[in-house]
Structure 1
């Protein structure tokens, strides 16, 4: 039952973590809060926040590499194509690469946690907040916690249980 519960919670996160607006200031506030957490907790992560047509925030902490940016790119592509958190793809499909029949080339798409759709009230999904560097469930949790804090929502109410 835990898998079904996790899927239901991620769907609720996607439904409830809706921004009233999104612009450069919101992207900076979200990204800066994630970077501050990473520094305080010594997390090696890359954070990317963007609309579909442009990057609005990027930061990398110590001990990350260009590989993390490549994972971010592939997670963004997966969120954009499937219109859901990349961790929900993990829960629903497992972590096996996409099949050739899916049309989602593993060179450009990945099933791994850390990409979360940016949904704006009245506009729908307009971009993605993506984390790379931790295990996928943890990447996802960092993104969710930042959105909860930004929206003034209780982080524990939306938190996945530890793996």
Structure 2
């Protein structure tokens, strides 16, 4: 899957608002992670997939061609989501639009946080952040798009 249009801060904000979840439990995390894995496998995409409840990993998988380093990227993307309650792509786009170095501005170590697309917040309808989902292994816009496509399908949006 290649993402055809260039995302904007506004388009990503709209995705975040539209893709709030009605509930969160470990079966939901498994279903979401499995759906992302299935889509990636069908496309022969070498990715890591991680779903977190708070900071705790409740689903994780590597597809052929992905490496353990992809889990490092997924962890750093989820850390951004957890800290800012927004997608890591939106955080990257905001930093680019305002011309600042993300890690320097917020005093965050590059070993723990990365402003790169592919981390997405799991927010309950009503606004409570309960977790995050991350994909790593593709260009960051495609990592993000794989999550959004899967959430849309799972939520029937």
TM-score (norm 2): 0.89
From 133, 136, 141, the equivalent of 1:132 is: 136
Report what 1:90 is aligned to. Answer: 92
1:92-131 aligned within 5 A: 92-94=94-96, 96=101, 98-99=103-104, 102-122=106-126, 124-131=128-135
Higher relative contact order (CA 8 A, sep 6+): 2
Structure 1 residues 53, 111: closer, same or farther in 2, change over 3 A? closer
Query: Aligned pair 1:41/2:46, yes or no?
Result: no
Structure 2: give runs of 5+ residues left out of the alignment: none
**Quick check: 122-131 or 76-85, which moved more?**
122-131
**For 2:118 and 2:70, how far apart are their aligned partners in 1?**
11
Give the C-alpha shift of residue 66 in structure 1. 1.3
Task: Specify the SS of the correspondent of 1:19.
Answer: coil
Contact kept? 1:7, 1:88, Cα under 8 Å: yes
Give the C-alpha shift of residue 97 in structure 1. 5.1
Report what 2:13 is aligned to. Answer: 11
Contact kept? 1:97, 1:106, Cα under 8 Å: no
Give the C-alpha shift of residue 89 in structure 1. 1.2
Q: How many residues align?
A: 150
Spell out, residue by residue over 1:108-137, the C-alpha distance to the aligned partner (whole angstroms, 9 max, x if none). 111100000001124511110100000000
Contact kept? 2:86, 2:120, Cα under 8 Å: yes
